Structure 1
Amino acid sequence: MRQFQSFKAVVEYNSFTKAAQALQYSQASITSHIQQLEEELRLPLFDRLGKQIHLTAAGQELYIYVSELLSAYSKIKNISDDDTSLKGEIRIGASETITVYKLGPVLSKFKKRYPQVTISLINDNCIPLRSKLHSGELDAAITLEPILDDPQLAAEVCSEEPLIFVGEYNHSLTRLEETEGMCMIFSEKNCSLRRFFEAYLIEKKISAHNYLQFNSMEAIKQCVVSGLGISLMPRVSVESLLRDRKNASNRNLQRTSDVLFANFVS
């Protein structure tokens, strides 16, 4: 239906840009929808002459059917349309950290309020999620990254999550420069946290030739706990270990498998 809506809008506005503005999609999403339709039909729908677009014969025929279909679709959606019966599907993308530590209570509250809405949740890193937004595969994405500067997307800051360096329990490090030569534990390359971590090390002139790479925050955390190296992680992802360490300290217990919140973060 999204593809048909995009096609109809492009025809009526005679512009991909104006169609994107009207539907509140990115222009890349509109282009992707049209390409998907053309691939499905194995026919071009528009002749593109410079900045001008014209419907092909196949496009003209399709427009008639799409107009009828969308009119019927609107009537179907409104069969029981009222303020208390919101229906449909919402497709959300989120990073692993956001999903594990933030989204549970939010999605639970949403489902109780809108029980007839189906939620599809896709876990991935920032760059792939942004690509899925552009192509129309997602309705919204919640990522952990610096403030987004993308004119084709509407972005809103939900919260600020501090980043901290973590190392194994009882380490004696007091400054980041003391980690020179130690193993750095990174997330995968298409993660904004990885790029920030590497840029920070370069700024501090610290070598990162000795490193491990994982695509899971939980795997990174367990490697740090095991003493394999140092990592930069969102504080929220290791809050439980901090609480465990505090509780153990209150009981005067010795812990050897814990994460110390490093005090050498500038």
Structure 2
Amino acid sequence: MGGTVTIDLALYQLRTFREVARLGSLTKAARSLGYAQSSVTSHIRSLESRVGMQLVQRLPHGVRLTASGEIFHEYTTRIFHVVDEMASALNPSGETEGRTTIGASALLLETRIGSLIRDCRYRYPKVQVSPRQLAMSNAYEAVRTGEVDVALVHGDCSAPENAPAGIVIEELPPLEVVPVGSTALVESADLATSLASVRVLAVDPDCASHHILVTALREAYGIDPQVIEAGSMGGARQLARTGYGIAMLPSESLRQPEEGHHLAVLPGLPRAQLGVRALWAGPELARAAVSAVCDVATRVGRETVTQMA
């Protein structure tokens, strides 16, 4: 009978590996963790030596996981989940604590995440939320690989045919988007003529909301506008203020005076309700901190939806 194979792994090395996998770069991982790059390289080499196989493939610009590295990363994620559960179980106060990484689409990052972090601090003071922008097309994969604990997406973000098993989809309060342009454009004497020279600004290329504007302009005014990627809500607002283009922006962001300055809702063009969803592992598998963040996420936006109703 063969003996049990034991692999001696250090948590600090696993943490380094997890950060390298998340960022795809030894340099960025070193900067994130506060290590010298030589230390990160040493941690990875030590892990590869102990498991007896290559985990990371070096590329001209960054790194990527090997097939063995993908398997190793999956188990590393599980290990840290268990460590977090142990820390919670040993917490004498019983208060939920830990860190949750939450990815969000461009629209949600600038409308819902601020309120989510504020509410989390109130309800769960020992839970830290780390937000980052996430392309909606990568949401399922980001949750599967552990790049994020929770992904917030909006609009028509259907599960891909090969969607990873075990990902829970939680319905959240919807997001209303409205057609927005400069106040000068809205107040122009001949709106149809003024609209003919503007572009449609796409905040998130994965979101179909800007297509609503394209279709409406074509059907109502016979205009076939050029679509420009704004990259962010801030970029879309700035371009819209200057009269360069029009965009579908969340109505709740326009309720803030500093955001709505020199912007107005365009008459005669449609509004839209975008479904919002949270993707995560679900309450049975997720860490307590992740479950707490998802619980708060289901509340954020309800007040706005109630006001609109």
Q: Identify which of 93, 98, 111 aligns with 1:88.
A: 98
Q: Identify which of 180, 185, 189 aligns with 2:201.
A: 185
Structure 2: unaligned runs, 5 residues or longer = 1-10, 15-46, 56-67, 271-309
> Contact between 2:106 and 2:203, CA under 8 Å: does it hold in 1?
no
Deviation at 1:122, TM superposition (A): 1.3
Q: Distance in 1 between matches of 2:264 and 2:86?
A: 57
Counterpart residue type for residue 116 of structure 2 = V
- Structure 2 residue aligned with 1:103: 113
| Matched position secondary structure for 1:121 | strand
* Residue 265 (structure 2) pairs with residue 261 (structure 1): yes
- Structure 2 residue aligned with 1:166: 180
Say which is worse superposed, 200-209 or 95-104, in terms of deviation.
200-209
Greater Rg, structure 1 or structure 2? 1
Deviation at 1:132, TM superposition (A): 1.3
* 1:11-44 superposed Cα distances (whole Å, 9 cap, x missing partner): xxxxxxxxxxxxxxxxxxxxxxxxxx98994639
- CA pair 131-174 structure 1, distance change in 2 beyond 3 A: farther
Deviation at 1:94, TM superposition (A): 1.8
Identity %: 15
* 1:101-131 superposed Cα distances (whole Å, 9 cap, x missing partner): 3232332232233333332211233223443
> Contact between 2:198 and 2:243, CA under 8 Å: does it hold in 1?
no
Counterpart residue type for residue 237 of structure 1 = S
In the superposition, the TM-score normalised over structure 2's length comes to: 0.50
Alignment of 1:15-30 (within 5 A): none
Q: Distance in 2 between matches of 1:40 and 1:166?
A: 57
Counterpart residue type for residue 230 of structure 2 = F
| Matched position secondary structure for 2:240 | helix
- Structure 2 residue aligned with 1:215: 231
Alignment of 1:1-266 (within 5 A): 41=51, 43=53, 73=83, 76-77=86-87, 80-81=90-91, 84-146=94-156, 148-149=158-159, 152=164, 153-169=167-183, 170-172=187-189, 179-189=195-205, 191-192=206-207, 195-198=208-211, 201-202=214-215, 204=218, 206-209=223-226, 211-241=227-257, 258-266=262-270
> Contact between 1:147 and 1:157, CA under 8 Å: does it hold in 2?
no
Q: Distance in 1 between matches of 2:143 and 2:48?
A: 20
Q: Distance in 2 between matches of 1:155 and 1:201?
A: 30
| Bigger fraction of residues in strand | 2
Deviation at 1:222, TM superposition (A): 1.6
> Contact between 2:209 and 2:248, CA under 8 Å: does it hold in 1?
no
Counterpart residue type for residue 112 of structure 1 = Y
| Matched position secondary structure for 1:43 | coil
> Contact between 2:181 and 2:247, CA under 8 Å: does it hold in 1?
yes
> Contact between 1:93 and 1:138, CA under 8 Å: does it hold in 2?
yes
| Matched position secondary structure for 2:117 | helix
Q: Distance in 2 between matches of 1:161 and 1:39?
A: 49
Deviation at 1:98, TM superposition (A): 2.5
| Matched position secondary structure for 1:158 | strand
| Matched position secondary structure for 1:112 | helix
| Matched position secondary structure for 2:156 | coil
Structure 1: unaligned runs, 5 residues or longer = 5-36, 46-57, 245-256
Counterpart residue type for residue 225 of structure 2 = A
* 1:74-104 superposed Cα distances (whole Å, 9 cap, x missing partner): 8953662457332322111123432333232
Counterpart residue type for residue 133 of structure 1 = V
- CA pair 149-172 structure 1, distance change in 2 beyond 3 A: farther
Q: Distance in 1 between matches of 2:196 and 2:49?
A: 53
| Matched position secondary structure for 1:156 | strand
